[in-house]
Amino acid sequence: MGKHAAAHVHPTTAIRLALEAGVDCLEHCTWLWPGGLDIDEPLMEEIVKRGTYISLGLPSTWYRVPLGDIQDIMDKRGREALLGPRYESIRRMFESGARVLSSSDAGSTAPRIDELGLLLEFLANQLEVPAHAVITSATILGAEAIGLGGEKESLEAGKKADFILVDGDPTTDITALQRVDTAMKDGVAVAGGGNVFL
Ligand SMILES: [Zn+2]
């Protein structure tokens, strides 16, 4: 119908139905089935082939609380049945070549707007997703997924100059993304040196 559509899908059955219905973006994409959590490989291949976006929708507790602490408070069964396989499935979704988006689960665990850097740090340092893939998932792919491809997804002549300058090289130290020096919007500095210019 020409409309951009996203579907909130945890079970594998829901992922399959959403894909068959032709949605553009799968929210969470948790791969739950009655026996646990695991990727359905043929379905994953279909997601890659179609170029369907996967928006992770991670709870803020994942990146706010140290991993060891989360594992301590979950019982062994929950840890083994859910958390480990979910981490592994996220790594594999990135590796598969799917268009994975780094997103928080706004509305469930009250993520703050300034916490995206923590989420990206979690993916790169805890789940060992390559930094380049993590940065792409939060910039180029994010812009494309919400219909801003061709306008804001990369720094090129003719596109809108919305970008940040950070202290450090995020491809070798992802935490550099949390040290924003200057923010540019439409080519004009809107924040810098700790000040907001509005
Ligand atoms: Zn959700």
Å from CA of 26 to ligand 1 middle: 11
What pLDDT was estimated at residue 73? 65
- Each as own residue / partner, the long-range contacts of residues 182-186 (CB below 8 Å, 24 or more positions apart, any chain) are 186/160, 186/161, 186/162
123 Cα to the center of ligand 1, angstroms: 18
Q: How far is the CA of 9 from the centre of ligand 1 (A)?
A: 8
pTM to 2 decimals? 0.88
Give me the pLDDT at residue 77, please: 62
The Å distance, Cα 175 to ligand 1 centre, comes to 26
Distance 58 CA to ligand 1 centre (A): 8
Q: Residue 117: CB partners within 8 Å, gap ≥ 6?
A: 175, 177, 178
Mark out the alpha helices in the chain (DSSP H runs): 12-20, 41-50, 60-64, 67-73, 76-78, 84-95, 116-121, 131-138, 140-145
* Mean pLDDT, each 10-residue run in order, the chain (198 residues): 89 97 96 90 97 94 73 64 85 97 84 88 94 95 88 81 93 95 92 86
With a CB cutoff of 8 Å and minimum separation 6, the contacts of 49 are: none
d(CA 27, CA 22): 14
Q: 167: CA distance to ligand 1 center in Å?
A: 32
pLDDT value for 49: 97
In angstroms, what is the span from residue 186 Cα to ligand 1's centroid?
A: 31
Give the homologous superfamily in CATH for domain 6-154.
Metal-dependent hydrolases (3.20.20.140)
Supply the pLDDT for residue 79: 62
Domain ranges of the chain: 6-154, 161-198
Q: Give me the pLDDT at residue 75, please.
A: 65
